Amino acid sequence: MTTTVQTTPITPPTTRRATLGGGGGGSPRRSTPARIPLQRLVTVELRKMFDTRSGFWLMASIVITSLLATAAIIVFAPDDQLTFDSFAAAIGAPMTVILPMVGILAVTSEWSQRSGLTTFTLVPHRGRVLGAKFLAATSVGIGSMFIALVVGVLGTVGGSAIAGVDPVWDVTAAHFALIVLGSVLGMLFGFMLGLLIRSSAGAIVTYFVVTLVLPPLLSLLAANQKWFADLRPWVDYTYAQGPLFDGRLSSQQWQHLGVAGSLWFLLPLAIGLLIVRRAEVK
């Protein structure tokens, strides 16, 4: 005797496809993540400047050298030199060296610390990352100058009180603004070298060659060649920046700064941006 068992085919349950915005049988679509705000990128770049031990001490050296320069003026300068201009000049001297290093390391750290691959993977648009670095470095430069201003004011008041003389405020607001502009331009020159060379050691050496070795050679050439003496303000960027720290620029000196800055800063900056945006990051 045989028994026939009738089986009913099992129908698989209906699968619901995950679609965006409703719809029926289309393939699943993923939502596009929101763009990272520029403010957050700038905050991250600022934090990266302070996170490493070298970065922390580089930033700390801005305050340390300002205090040491102020103390040196109070101890060694004669009473008639205890003016705000003297304190500003003493504080500004180490700033002209430290701030360009900040600009250089803001860019080259991505290659020296091998973090560029992570950075440019998280934010594929390299121009936004470089813009955030530019804004972060500029913020540090301006902030450092205002720290120097506070230290200079305290030094002028304290030094005059110790010496028993009246404080002399011989730097106007316009003069200080030009000093800030000159210092920030020096830091951005380091930023440009970092983009162009992408090596901390190479960019630092190039900076000192351009700012310490080249100007005396150009000065010697100008002293011996009349044609170059007239041409020098238009092609010597360091020479063209000098009047900024003196606090007064004529219209022609602004033109000198614009032409020399285009040759030594804007053109190399454009080349560096092009190289970094197209170079392979390893």
| Tally of domains within the chain | 1
Q: Residue 13 to residues 5, 10, 251: CA-CA distances in angstroms?
A: 24, 9, 81
pLDDT score of 265 more than 90: yes
Q: Residue 105 to residues 10, 213, 252: CA-CA distances in angstroms?
A: 67, 22, 34
Tell me whether residue 176 is in a domain.
Answer: yes
**Tens digit of each residue's pLDDT (9 = 90 or more) over 228-250:** 999 999 999 999 998 998 878 89
pLDDT at 29: 65
- Own/partner pairs for 115-120, CB < 8 Å, 24+ apart? 116/281, 116/282, 117/281, 117/282, 120/281
Tell me whether residue 148 is in a domain.
Answer: yes
Tell me whether residue 78 is in a domain.
Answer: yes
Which residue, among 220, 254, 259, has the nearest Cα to 236 in the 3D structure? Answer: 259
Question: Where is 177: in which H helix or E strand?
Answer: helix 173-197
Tell me whether residue 14 is in a domain.
Answer: no
pLDDT score of 192 more than 90: yes
Tell me whether residue 19 is in a domain.
Answer: no
Tell me whether residue 10 is in a domain.
Answer: no
83 phi and psi, to 5 degrees?
A: -110, 160
Tell me whether residue 223 is in a domain.
Answer: yes
DSSP state of 113: T
Q: Which residue segment(s) compose the domain that 72 sits in?
A: 38-277
pLDDT score of 67 more than 60: yes
Count of H helices and E strands in the chain?
12, 0
- More confident call, 53 vs 194: 194
**Most confident residue range from 20-29, 136-145, 253-262:** 253-262
Tell me whether residue 95 is in a domain.
Answer: yes
pLDDT at 118: 78
Please, what is the average pLDDT of the chain?
84
